[in-house]
Structure 1
Amino acid sequence: MQILGISAYYHDSSAALVRDGMVVAAAQEERFSRIKHDPAFPAKATQYCLEMAGNTPVDYVVFYDKPFLKFERILETYLSFAPKGFSTFRAGLPVWAKEKLFQRSLLMKELQAITPDRFTSGQLLFSEHHLSHAASAFYPSPFEDALVLTMDGVGEWATTSVAIGHGADMKILHEINFPHSLGLLYSAFTAYAGFKVNSGEYKLMGLSPYGRPRFVQTILDHLIDLKPDGSFRLNQRYFSYCTDLKMFNSRFAELFREPARAPEAPLTQFHADIAASVQHVTEMVVLRICRVMAKETGQKNLCLAGGVALNCVANGKIAAEELFENIWIQPASGDSGAALGAALAASHLHLKTPRSVLKPDAMASGALGPEFSQSEIEDTLTRAGAKFSVIPDRDLWRDTAAALADGEVTGWFQGRMEFGPRALGQRSILGDPRDPAMQKKLNLKIKFRESFRPFAPSVLAEDAADWFDMPLPDSPYMLLVTTVAEKHRKITAEEAETRHGLGDQDIQRSDIPAVTHTNFSARIQTVRHENNPRYYALLHAFKEKTGCPVLINTSFNVRGEPIVASPAEAFRCFMATGMDRLVIGNCVLKKTEQNPSLATDYHVHQEAD
């Protein structure tokens, strides 16, 4: 039994394939279309999943939410606030009338365009948004039983939900409904700080350690009514998302006595303090819910999904409280992962497929996208005019590790493409974390992005506890923030507390300064041989060379561009940036050996993220 899951028409559209309850393939459409956060029907991602299905029939196609319920929410919201928002409602109504309310027909039309006469309308199912998220977290997890917390902007109605999973069954217990949304609160501050909603939230999180949470009480007094059990209501006097295409209104800015920051305008300490404040409130909400639900349900395992689950700082706080013995976070926690969850929900809840619990999980380390053979890589590079050498594995690890130790920034392209927003050693840019200048070099000359943004460390799993304060044994998906171990710090906690503003970015805080954030924090990825043998071998070679089992790992792309999906895109990105070396499969390319005429400035054409 094969099931195709689809997420589309909002942001981060994707497709996923499940066979007999097991994850086979998954990919975001943006990787193929090269449009970041592409919301369109995932035609190319779907085609990839159908290719992975082979000659076996795909029995059902499942869409990740229910359009009629979503329209009900939009209509009731308009009636609740009328006559405010009439112009926005009037502008959007034709789209809903023509497309969204007849989404079955639209989806069938898109599927027919890809694979004529393969599917009938009777094979098309619809999941609910939060059920899709919860299923994406529980079913691939390594737990027989778990509490499942989903938090995001909004689905049909739900913005926060709590479910219990047991075996192949899962039931939602509690919900908080629109317009009261922790995700939308965070997005409102994202927009206020001058970042783009649905993509800039991680920037706000990265900015928060540079600030002081001096506006927490203002937020609690005016914007969110937070109850002891973690339930909450947002004061709609300050927000516009119910009636307009904006997140907040003039009262919001007046509350903080500063106008909203224009995109790309200079960041000030005020913006860092705003980021720190809403981050603190977010952690308060999440922790209160977790405390109450852990006590109410007695569950020892926690699964997380939804866009808020990408807030790895809050995830680290949950882990540090030791409310649960084990935590598993869906690596594609946003809407892209809901395509996978929709397929899994249909498999286990609708079709009653038995569930197999796999260790360490059923996500194949996130490597669920396309891969390329060595011959395909060599043919692509030859056609592109690239100069390269082909090196056997043992020499590849050693030579690449030596280049990294010498300060070379290296593009690393191996195996199947990752599913979700994080590069995990398949489509990565790597660097030496011991180099104090590496963080700024990567930001400004490679990624072409803001200098304050932190980079994540990949570390050999067996060495993680020696280098970091580990609240959990593993963090394979780079979704947990912890701190650098005290033995590797260069300054005291007192010094860090007094020197953590935007003007203190260049202070060397640890033995691995390029991945140590201003408060000693780091968003870690632990790497095991059984999960990613090629990346593990490189990390091990780097440790043998330098004594350090850590590398900088950032996604293989420039600002405003999706992560590269193909060898051709990797070579193009390599030639357009300050990367020194590119390793694709067993092919090694050195920048100094390439024809300079192949270089491009394509990053200047990318829309700012």
Structure 2
Amino acid sequence: MKTILGISAFYHDSAATILVDGKIIAAAQEERFTRKKHDSSYPFNAIEFVLKFAKIKLSEVDQIIFFEKPFLKFERLLETYVAFAPRGFKSFCMAIPLWLKDKLFQKKMLFNELKKHDNNFTDDKKLYFSDHHLSHAASAFFPSPFEEAIVLTADGVGEWATTTVAIGKGNNLEIKKEIHFPHSLGLLYSAFTYYAGFKVNSGEYKLMGLAPYGSPIYEDKIKNNLIDIKEDGSFHLDQSYFNYATGLTMTNNKFTNLFGQKVRDAKHEKLTQFHMDIAASIQKVTEDIMIRLTKSLKEEFNISNLCLAGGVALNCVANGKILKEKIFNNIWVQPAAGDAGGSLGAALALWHIEQDNPRNVNQNDSMQGSYLGPEYSQKIIEEQLDKAGAKYEILKEQELIDKTAIHLSKENVVGWFQGRMEFGPRALGGRSILGDPRSEQMQKNLNLKVKYRESFRPFAPSILEEEVSEWFNIDVTSPYMLMVAEVKDGLKIEMTTEEKKLFGINKLNIKRSNIPAVTHVDYTSRIQTVSSNINSKYYKLIAKFKEKTGCPILINTSFNIRGEPMVNTPEDAFNCFMGTELDTLVIGNCFLLKKNQNIRLKKDYKNQFELD
């Protein structure tokens, strides 16, 4: 038995993954254990979990691999400051002491941290370092259902690379092309995230959700000033508008002057039509670049499968556009496409590329539905609920599913905690909040009363896999909620002339389809297809809901409030249940109603987590 531990850390979304004989056994993000969103610290708890799950001590692990090369990153930092000097001296002075203290000596630091797991771990020769973009590409190709594929990775920045193209065949993967820092599609998108008043590295999906409320009226301004896009989709950014290479902010005064408004102060300024149009414009530019890139890659390499990774691959709207263009026969996106997935990719790259181990291609994929996190026995669930003072009844599975489906059909909001926790940013039916998609009020209520977040944020439908093409314009599976498609014409409710005149957020409350709670303002949905052989309990629940209502769909959003990581333990789930207006909690075989709980256990939950 050969074991590899993969680690990603120190930028955002620290995580750990363990492989046994090349098989993915367990993977989790540190944030789920520390309850600190996007936790970037050394993933002590995540490592403890994956080791325990694999029933192995750290000293028994054969190799440990870190997802990037710190020295190359330091080289990029120094060269960037020299190239832009004297600009950026202030941020240079802030960054260098940290690098000299910790990051340059990351091997020693990692070794010291690793020893805390196991005193018998003494061999630093077991420690390896991967390349950031190779880790991303490996996370996308090796678990994919393809023998051969083009792998496109796009994110903020790794060591030097911001966009890479790799070719995967069998157990081999080779990077063929790179675009280097400071030219970055991820950082361009993040600059607009910052400009619209959202947090960089966590607010990008808000910008994507806001885009359909606006019109891309600044598209030409972006293309004529900020970015030069070549025919093949490669690009060059005019650095005179940005501050991220050397400064402490993403954009500068020249950027502000170009668009005519200052950076939005999220605490004091509401979103306006301007911000919606800005969001629509950068979204359109991103989609155009991704479509140009993928078209030119298909032409150049003539391979019919595409894999995507890196933070930009979480832009499910752009993914949906690539799918709609039918450039490739098949597309597969790594569900943990951001830096967390680097821990997985680094381990797989070491196993397949460096050690030349064969690869068995799974026709679905080898991510096991991305249910790779902790699982809690019925005994532990009951112990944690008892300790918290919860009132619950224990039901057999069939009764539990039946009762939950009835509650959902009556427009109750249900916290659903079953099986293993998901790896990656999406709740996929393990740690989910569920609702009735037919309800006209559900989207608004879920945002304002349960998630405590902006009312414009869309929700995803979970649909029985075999029903998807009956309800949406998509004929492929989308198990990881990373594809967006339009609802079928027959389900759409056309807007009246008066409604079409409405601007921005006023469009929110217009009923757009027979499933209004999961139909975004542009008639699209971010789809999760649910298969009976990957998550049978969740599948049975949706099937039972269909039996009662005729609708094979549930709203699925992550089990947390804004600013909080997804719940991990039964205790986390009960805290969130008591701190929000969730009606029902279904956890293992335990069924909890809010009205039966001790009122004194209600929590002031809303202000516990920092705004994301």
Give the structure-1-normalised TM-score. Answer: 0.99
1:2 is displaced (CA, Å) by 0.7
Correspondence list, 1:132-531, <5 A: 132-264=135-267, 265-470=269-474, 472-491=475-494, 499=502, 501-531=504-534
In structure 1, how many angstroms separate the alpha carbons of the residues matched to 2:504 and 2:242?
29
Counterpart of 2:19 in structure 1 is 18
Which secondary structure state, in structure 1, belongs to the residue aligned with residue 606 of structure 2?
Answer: helix
In structure 2, how many angstroms separate the alpha carbons of the residues matched to 1:474 and 1:263?
37
1:416 is displaced (CA, Å) by 0.3
Tell me which amino acid in the other structure corresponds to 1:374: Q
Tell me which amino acid in the other structure corresponds to 1:74: L
In structure 1, how many angstroms separate the alpha carbons of the residues matched to 2:333 and 2:501?
33
1:245 is displaced (CA, Å) by 1.6
Whether contact under 8 Å (1:500, 1:519) holds in the other structure is no
String of CA shifts for 1:162-185, please: whole Å, max 9, x gaps.
Answer: 000000000001000000000000
Residue 89 (structure 1) aligned to one of 87, 92, 117: 92
Whether contact under 8 Å (1:20, 1:353) holds in the other structure is no
Change (3 A) 1:46 1:275: same
Correspondence list, 1:529-540, <5 A: 529-540=532-543
Tell me which amino acid in the other structure corresponds to 2:563: G
Residue 608 (structure 1) aligned to one of 595, 608, 611: 611
1:501 is displaced (CA, Å) by 2.4
Which secondary structure state, in structure 2, belongs to the residue aligned with residue 433 of structure 1?
Answer: coil
Whether contact under 8 Å (1:16, 1:27) holds in the other structure is yes
Whether contact under 8 Å (1:2, 1:58) holds in the other structure is yes
Which secondary structure state, in structure 1, belongs to the residue aligned with residue 469 of structure 2?
Answer: helix
Change (3 A) 1:382 1:107: same
In structure 1, how many angstroms separate the alpha carbons of the residues matched to 2:37 and 2:165?
30
In structure 1, how many angstroms separate the alpha carbons of the residues matched to 2:594 and 2:579?
11
Counterpart of 1:27 in structure 2 is 28
Counterpart of 1:550 in structure 2 is 553
Change (3 A) 1:534 1:493: farther
Whether contact under 8 Å (2:499, 2:507) holds in the other structure is no
1:220 is displaced (CA, Å) by 0.4
1:497 is displaced (CA, Å) by 6.1
Unaligned stretches of 5+ residues in structure 1: none
Counterpart of 2:129 in structure 1 is 126
1:602 is displaced (CA, Å) by 2.3
1:493 is displaced (CA, Å) by 9.8
Unaligned stretches of 5+ residues in structure 2: none
In structure 2, how many angstroms separate the alpha carbons of the residues matched to 1:589 and 1:205?
35
String of CA shifts for 1:62-110, please: whole Å, max 9, x gaps.
Answer: 0000000000000000000011111211121111111111100000011
Whether contact under 8 Å (2:580, 2:605) holds in the other structure is no
Change (3 A) 1:5 1:229: same
Whether contact under 8 Å (1:160, 1:181) holds in the other structure is yes
Whether contact under 8 Å (1:182, 1:282) holds in the other structure is yes
What RMSD over aligned residues (CA atoms) do the two structures have, in Å? 1.1
Which secondary structure state, in structure 1, belongs to the residue aligned with residue 424 of structure 2?
Answer: coil
In structure 1, how many angstroms separate the alpha carbons of the residues matched to 2:364 and 2:94?
48
Counterpart of 1:2 in structure 2 is 3
1:118 is displaced (CA, Å) by 2.2
Which secondary structure state, in structure 2, belongs to the residue aligned with residue 246 of structure 1?
Answer: coil
Whether contact under 8 Å (1:370, 1:417) holds in the other structure is yes
1:605 is displaced (CA, Å) by 2.2
Counterpart of 2:111 in structure 1 is 108
Tell me which amino acid in the other structure corresponds to 1:349: I
Counterpart of 2:592 in structure 1 is 589
Change (3 A) 1:232 1:497: farther
Tell me which amino acid in the other structure corresponds to 1:18: L
In structure 1, how many angstroms separate the alpha carbons of the residues matched to 2:495 and 2:610?
40
Which secondary structure state, in structure 2, belongs to the residue aligned with residue 605 of structure 1?
Answer: coil
Tell me which amino acid in the other structure corresponds to 1:32: F
Which secondary structure state, in structure 1, belongs to the residue aligned with residue 33 of structure 2?
Answer: helix
Aligned pairs, how many? 608
Tell me which amino acid in the other structure corresponds to 1:600: K
In structure 1, how many angstroms separate the alpha carbons of the residues matched to 2:274 and 2:611?
22
Tell me which amino acid in the other structure corresponds to 2:326: E
Which secondary structure state, in structure 1, belongs to the residue aligned with residue 36 of structure 2?
Answer: coil
In structure 1, how many angstroms separate the alpha carbons of the residues matched to 2:54 and 2:63?
12
Moved more, 277-286 or 374-383: 374-383
Query: Percent identity of the aligned residues?
Result: 57
Change (3 A) 1:249 1:352: same
Counterpart of 2:51 in structure 1 is 50
Whether contact under 8 Å (1:539, 1:550) holds in the other structure is yes
Which secondary structure state, in structure 2, belongs to the residue aligned with residue 557 of structure 1?
Answer: coil
In structure 2, how many angstroms separate the alpha carbons of the residues matched to 1:494 and 1:131?
51
In structure 1, how many angstroms separate the alpha carbons of the residues matched to 2:119 and 2:92?
35
Which secondary structure state, in structure 2, belongs to the residue aligned with residue 160 of structure 1?
Answer: strand
Which secondary structure state, in structure 1, belongs to the residue aligned with residue 513 of structure 2?
Answer: coil
Whether contact under 8 Å (2:31, 2:37) holds in the other structure is yes
In structure 2, how many angstroms separate the alpha carbons of the residues matched to 1:436 and 1:48?
41
Tell me which amino acid in the other structure corresponds to 2:36: I
Whether contact under 8 Å (1:496, 1:518) holds in the other structure is no
